[in-house]
Chain A
């Protein structure tokens, strides 16, 4: 099973792009990368996921390196409500087993 490594904390100015890195150097070919975030006392909320290609949705963009050993979540215009713990997760292909790391605590500053 792949594991992920994230910086423990980051700050970002409101209105600026927040770029959250994740290392998953032992990821296998059939393992997806998911990003969730967790606001205090709530359950994790899905943001985006990908296998090989870059992905974009209404919340964020996901950039996966060509060798798939790392990825970056981009929140294009961070707001105060984006303050949360962000988890980069590897899901073992064909299963529901999500391997969470310790996450990055993002603080958006006014």
Chain B
């Protein structure tokens, strides 16, 4: 079975641009979470979606938004990119409901120049 897949794997943008990152969860998983990992630090929680509804949001500005589609895939959008948005963006899926472990993808490495 395929694991969590994220695209693209690497991306280079310039300040002020917009970016869309994509995530396909493991088949049968209904929940998707997004994390940002800056070099040398642990991942930071951005969003969690379950059954297409936002169920949690971390301490990130409104430039960050996300959505989940009927097939449970998800997009993370970041507007007006800043240099500080350069990071590894991780998507994680789980079957659904609290108390379950997360399965992480390999991430999208975003570089903002």
Contacts and interface: CB of A to CB of B under 8 A. Distances in A.
Interface stretch (B12-20, B38-46, B67-75): B38-46
Contacts of B103: 46
Interface string B77-113: 0000000000000101010001101111111000000
5 contacts: A43-B106, A93-B98, A96-B31, A96-B50, A101-B42
B106 A97 contact: no
Nearest to B48: A96
Interface in B41-70: 41-45, 48, 50, 55-56, 58
A88 B58 CA distance: 19
A96 B90 contact: no
B58 A97 contact: yes
B92 A43 contact: yes
Contact of B45 (A34, A94, A99): A99
Given A96-B102, A97-B56, A99-B45, 13 more contacts: A42-B106, A44-B43, A44-B104, A46-B101, A46-B102, A49-B101, A95-B48, A95-B98, A96-B48, A97-B58, A98-B35, A102-B40, A102-B42
Interface residues of A, number: 22
A42 B101 CA distance: 17
A95 B56 CA distance: 8
Contact of A96 (B40, B98, B106): B98
A43 B91 CA distance: 9
Nearest to A49: B101
A88 B61 CA distance: 26
Contacts of B40: 102
A25 interface: no
Interface string A14-57: 00000000000000000010101000011111100100000000
Nearest to B47: A96
A45 B101 CA distance: 10
